[in-house]
Chains A and B, each alone.
Chain A
Amino acid sequence: MTTREKILADVRKSQPPLVAAPDITLWENRQQVDGLTVLETFKAVAGNVGSKVISVESIADIKTHLNIIPGSRVLTSIPQLFDVATDAALAAGATPHELENVELAILQAEFGIAENSALWVTEKQMGTRVLPFICQHLALVVNAGDIVADMHAAYKRTQGSDHSFATFIAGPSKTADIEQSLVLGAHGPRSLSIFVLTT
């Protein structure tokens, strides 16, 4: 008997009689509060977890808010911002280690969540998975209309999407492991800027 067969046999011998999973459609189908409230909640929560939220009317407007150190490496997946990026385009297919010196990455998020200010970023938008983690600073762009109320609505949006890797990002990398003192910039980005496109 293989270990696999043994574990499965032991589990089946021990498991209690079948009980159905509860119905969570109540939460999934809950009426969304109006868009304005959702956006305000998103901004407030984002501020609480250390993100900087900036409302912009166009992608071009983002440039006026970027404070790029001359000579530092900037990567983006957003074509309208290629002119501020060091490399002409996102270094797709780059080996992860080549991204070690990225100062700023500007990536598109698919959607955001008001209740926790998390943004859903998939591998397609990252180019290379490690990018939003290894860069010193991260900026994410999200359309105001793409902010949903809560996690139930969020997972509803991910249904049917096939991603090899995706992540929710809520704030800069942080730790409170030393005496519960909050420190931003543990291993990943020291800051997270969220550009909310209002048009």
Chain B
Amino acid sequence: MKDHAALAEAFNKDEQRVDWHDETLWWVRQKRDRASHQIPDWEELREAASQIKHNVLSDLGNYLEQFEKQAIGNGITVHWAADAKEHNDIVHSILKRHGITQMVKSKSMLTEECHLNHFLEEQGINVVDSDLGELIVQLAKEPPSHIVLPCIHKKKEEIGDIFHEHLGSEKGESDPQILTETARVHLRNTFLTRRAALTGVNFAVAETGEFVVCTNEGNADMGAHLSDVHIASMGIEKLIPKRKHLSVFLRLLTRSATGQPITTYSSHFKRPRPGQEMHIILVDNGRSVQLGREDFRNSLKCIRCGACMNTCPVYRRSGGHSYHTAVAGPIGSILAPNLDMKQYADLPFASTLCGSCTNVCPVKIDIHDQLYKWRQVIVKEGYGDKKKAAAMQAMAYTLSSPKVYRIAGKAGRLVMKYAPFAVNNGLNPWYKQRDMPEPPKESFGEWYAKNRS
């Protein structure tokens, strides 16, 4: 299993592609800046959103019960799933009861987290992802590389090839307009022939028992309103107290995500259509554990806008797949270790701690501080890089003693010899693309002793 550094190195083999990926996402970041800078009280809105989510996390038990009661009263069936397996089993049992073997799905990072598609395929159930980006990666047999822009890593020519193979578009066609039209025609037929639709949930309102799904394409609505059975999967942290709080979140969500003032569709589902069945699955899958981690519980405030990915200089130059988890980028790197500390031990280190993620986060999650804190936890729990441990011990020894430090320094400015960037021995990664400064004749300490005392 390759770690982030190895996967990122592979991604960097094609520098032009890295530039393209970086610039595409930087453009999205710039759109976000333009949109947010137009709202004079943007920072106050972020603070309000953060506090609303804080309130939710501090009273989550009651909000869950309130939401359940309201939703049931609205005629929705509410299910509870402790983990991914239970979630997947619930979906399967609903479909099985109706004898349904084909389902259309709109974007849901939770179902990616639960590996639902794979599970259902094994049960003989065909799932079609209807978000254009998700459809593209599904046809390419890849996971999404970004939570908002699932196929941001793919070039239009590659998408043209995929559509030629699977959807019968002209060979060599790469015009986004024509490719989108191809998908539209293909998926329209899918929407019309699927009796079951699964959607994600952006926000669920405890006060009213309704839930909100945001899309630009209208795919969630097409699927849901044409289906006999609508299943909505949501993490338990998606709750907000009252409908009026949606105002704060809908102002922030899309401006942060893509720089749009709002998504094309923000649909409020409260009751099933007459004759339709509507299900909500409330999923824990590690969230209650994360809630108990004082240093990391703020990560549950996340509204999945993807702004931290677009701004992250590492994400832009390593690609979403280098994070080898459903939610990539900075937010994924503080969520994933909670699910499996060993498997995702590398992710909190895939950052320079530059802090840009924290500044763009619409709910003010202290992302880079949490990355720092996860590093301490991972090392203490014994999942740190073993090679690094010895170097760190030696470095701490040297730097804890002024005497050892001076001697090491005198010996040819080698005080940093335990910091791996100081020795040019051919094995040191520093020297692959960088040189070291010319060592000066004397250190500042030596100069000071001669000139000031």
Contact = CB atoms under 8 A, between A and B. Distances in A.
Given a CB threshold of 8 Å, the question of whether A touches B is answered with yes
Contact of B218 (A6, A133, A178): A133
Given A22-B51, A187-B184, A155 B156 contact: no
B264 A172 contact: yes
* Residue of A24, A176, A180, A186 contacting most chain B CB atoms (<10 Å): A186
A116 B149 contact: no
Nearest to A192: B264
B262 A187 contact: no
28 contacts: A7-B80, A7-B82, A10-B288, A11-B60, A11-B284, A12-B61, A15-B60, A15-B61, A21-B245, A22-B51, A24-B244, A24-B247, A27-B48, A27-B247, A45-B261, A49-B264, A118-B266, A133-B221, A156-B244, A165-B273, A166-B270, A169-B264, A176-B216, A178-B176, A178-B180, A185-B184, A186-B132, A187-B218
A4 B86 CA distance: 12
Q: What are the 7 closest A-B residue pairs judged by CB atoms, nearest first?
A: A188-B218, A14-B292, A116-B261, A177-B133, A130-B225, A186-B217, A10-B288
Given A167-B268, A178-B156, 17 more contacts: A4-B80, A7-B236, A11-B64, A11-B288, A13-B288, A14-B288, A15-B58, A15-B291, A19-B54, A21-B55, A115-B261, A158-B243, A168-B265, A176-B149, A177-B131, A178-B132, A189-B218
Nearest to A134: B222
Given A15-B59, A97-B192, A178-B156, A183 B288 contact: no
A147 to B, nearest CB: 14
Interface residues of A, number: 70
B221 A170 contact: no
Nearest to B193: A97
B270 A164 contact: yes
A35 to B, nearest CB: 20
B231 interface: no
A185 to B, nearest CB: 7
B266 A173 contact: no
Contacts of A173: 216-218, 264-265
Contact of B270 (A15, A17, A159, A165): A165
Contacts of A2: 80
Interface of B is mostly: helix
Given A18-B59, A96-B226, A164-B270, A187 B243 contact: no
A187 B188 contact: yes
A15 to B, nearest CB: 5
A130 B265 contact: no
Nearest to B86: A3
Contact of A179 (B60, B82, B156, B246): B156
Contacts of B192: 97, 100
Interface of A: 2-4, 6-8, 10-22, 24, 27-28, 45, 48-49, 96-97, 100, 115-118, 128-130, 133-134, 150-152, 154-156, 158-159, 163-181, 183, 185-189
B284 A176 contact: no
B52 A14 contact: no
Contacts of A18: 58-59
A170 B241 contact: no
Contacts of B180: 175, 178, 183, 185-186
Contacts of A15: 57-61, 291
